[in-house]
Every structure is written in structure tokens, then in C-alpha cells.
């Protein structure tokens, strides 16, 4: 695709602004950054309020808190959300996250719609378990990297 070279050089983690850190500290919230080819891969950052962080589920990525002192992050391939090539034979992967640890989940896929060219998706979740949010909390090397990156043509 025309934007492949530019897409491959996009940042995969971002520093938060002071305002975003304040919002994250006040409520159960999630920081979200979206980069789209249609926007020349300019990061669009926002903080999104969430009803409950005790069981976040984006269908492919889930955060569970089965016990008060235990957090588990899980990734599961879902064909219509992740795309081709098919990886449905792979089991879900998960890890236990301790205080202060960063987990990175990274997956990609390609899609085609009738009458259009292929389009590509590369999703990255940086998840940190931390008592007091900081501007740099997503910049540390991850303690766990759950990866499902396919060679896309």
C-alpha cells in the first residue's frame, strides 16, 4: 500500500501530557492513541472514561482482575477483527502483570472489502499496572510482549 513505509516508522508508545495524567489519576480511564493513513499518521490522543477497569474487554485484548491483587492480560486472535492470514489455530496468550510492569500486545492483519484494495491494520496495546500514573509510564521497555505479527504482503 502507498503508506506502508510511513506506517512502518510510526511510534509504538507515547508520552502522556500532564492533563492526560491528571485525568487518568482521577477516574477509571484509558489513554488511546490512533494513527491512520488518512490522517498522514498524525497521532490523535485522547483519554476515554471506562465504566470498570476490573474487566476490560476489547474482544481481542482483555484485562481481567480475578483477585484484588491479580491482573491478567490476554490476547486472542479473532479472524474478523484481526484479519488475514488466518491464525485461528493458535490458542490465546496471556500473562500475569505485577505492579509497575508494562505489557505490550501487538498484532496485525489485512482486510479486503468488495470492490476495494487491501487495507492493513496494526494494533498495539501498551498496558501498565501502576498506582500513580506518570507521563512516561508507557515508554519503558515492556516486561511482557504478546505478539501476533504476520508477514503481510
Per-residue pLDDT reduced to its tens digit, 133-152: 899 999 989 999 999 999 87
Pairing of strands 44-49, 29-34: antiparallel
Per-residue pLDDT reduced to its tens digit, 79-124: 988 889 999 999 999 999 999 999 999 998 888 878 777 788 888 8
pLDDT of residue 42: 87
Per-residue pLDDT reduced to its tens digit, 55-88: 566 789 998 888 888 889 999 999 988 889 999 9
pLDDT of residue 27: 66
Sign of CA dihedral 8, 9, 15, 20: negative
Vertex 58: Cα angle to 22 and 35 (nearest 5): 65
Residue 144: C-alpha distances to residues 28, 68, 86, 152, 153 (Å): 23, 21, 24, 24, 27
Closest to 24 (Cα-Cα) out of 57, 52, 49, 59? 49
pLDDT at 52 over 70: no
Pairing of strands 102-112, 118-128: antiparallel
Q: How many residues does the chain have?
A: 153
pLDDT at 54 over 60: no
Query: Is the entire prediction scored with pTM above 0.85?
Result: no
Per-residue pLDDT, averaged over 49-57, amounts to 60
Question: What's the rounded Cα separation, in Å, for the pair 41 and 74?
Answer: 27
Per-residue pLDDT, averaged over 24-45, amounts to 81
pLDDT at 11 over 70: yes
Question: What's the rounded Cα separation, in Å, for the pair 150 and 54?
Answer: 30
Amino acid at each position: 500500500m502507498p503508506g506502508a513505509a510511513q506506517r512502518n516508522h510510526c511510534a509504538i508508545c507515547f508520552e502522556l501530557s500532564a492533563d492526560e495524567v491528571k485525568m487518568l489519576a482521577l477516574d477509571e480511564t484509558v489513554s488511546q492513541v490512533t494513527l491512520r493513513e488518512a490522517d498522514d499518521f498524525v497521532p490523535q490522543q485522547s483519554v476515554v472514561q471506562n465504566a470498570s477497569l476490573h474487566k476490560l474487554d476489547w474482544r481481542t485484548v482483555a484485562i481481567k482482575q480475578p483477585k484484588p491483587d491479580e491482573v491478567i492480560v490476554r490476547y486472542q486472535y479473532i479472524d474478523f477483527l484481526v484479519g488475514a492470514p488466518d491464525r485461528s489455530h493458535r490458542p490465546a496468550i496471556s500473562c500475569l502483570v505485577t505492579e509497575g510492569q508494562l505489557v505490550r500486545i501487538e498484532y496485525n492483519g489485512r482486510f479486503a472489502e468488495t470492490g476495494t484494495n487491501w487495507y492493513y491494520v496494526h494494533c498495539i496495546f501498551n498496558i501498565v499496572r501502576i498506582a500513580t500514573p506518570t507521563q512516561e509510564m508507557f515508554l519503558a521497555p515492556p516486561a511482557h510482549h504478546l505478539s501476533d505479527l504476520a508477514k503481510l504482503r
